[in-house]
Structure 1
Amino acid sequence: MAKPLVILHGWGRGDLKKWQPTQKILHQAGFKVFLPPLPGFFGQPPPQKPWTLADYADYVTGYLKHHRLNQPIILGHSFGGSVAIKLI
């Protein structure tokens, strides 16, 4: 069974397609890759109020539970790295 790996993207505009080459390489290496768009990014509605890093970490925790991802590897890029640290 493939080990789950969750990529938390950075703060910015654009789309998640730029992660496709990375996803492909990681998939070929035996990982099941998840790339959740965080609220307020990549077409996702923004939060009702400004969120803290802890709020984003809570969102990711909910995402992990929803997808039944137990002990995934978390890869955080830029802002996503800050969110990942809050998950520890």
Structure 2
Amino acid sequence: MKLYQKKILILHGWGSCAKNWTKVKELLEKKGLEVFAPDLPGFGKCPLPTKPWSIDDYVEWIKNFCSLFAEVGFAEVGPPQTKFYLLGHSFGGRIAIKFAIKYPEKLKS
């Protein structure tokens, strides 16, 4: 298993999907970063939520998404190498800001 020193989670914008970030993801991986770029619920290949979601719902989804990867060292609360960078575009930026306010201990910066 390859251990990455830098991890980044990319959140796409409204009406977009993770696929649109493929080239950026590949470039960052070539630079040695571990990159996750999920489809947010209701976008891309991720099914629609059963009810309309608020920004807080998306923030909690991101927290749960990160928890799925905790066993491989992504998004754990702990030593600096387990924290991650968060990049959000447009709507994803709103989610990223709210996530950073609510869970600053999970972020590298």
Extract unaligned runs of 5+ from structure 1. none
After TM superposition, what 4+ stretches of structure 1 lie above 2 angstroms from structure 2?
15-18
- The match for 1:45 is 47
Identity over aligned pairs, percent? 40
Structure 2 residue 30 is the aligned partner of structure 1 residue 28: yes
Between structure 1 and structure 2, the one with the greater Rg is 2
State how far apart, in whole Å, the 2-side matches of 1:17 and 1:45 are: 15
- SS class of match (1:87): helix
- 1:26-53 CA deviation, whole Å, 9 max, x = no partner? 1111100001111100021111111100
TM-score, scaled to structure 2? 0.74
Aligned residues: 87
- The match for 1:5 is 8
TM-score, scaled to structure 1? 0.90
**8 Å CA contact 2:18, 2:38 repeated in 1:** no
State how far apart, in whole Å, the 2-side matches of 1:20 and 1:59 are: 21
Structure with more of its chain in helix, by fraction: 2
Extract unaligned runs of 5+ from structure 2. 77-82, 101-109
Q: CA RMSD in A?
A: 1.3
- The match for 1:64 is 66
- The match for 1:77 is 89
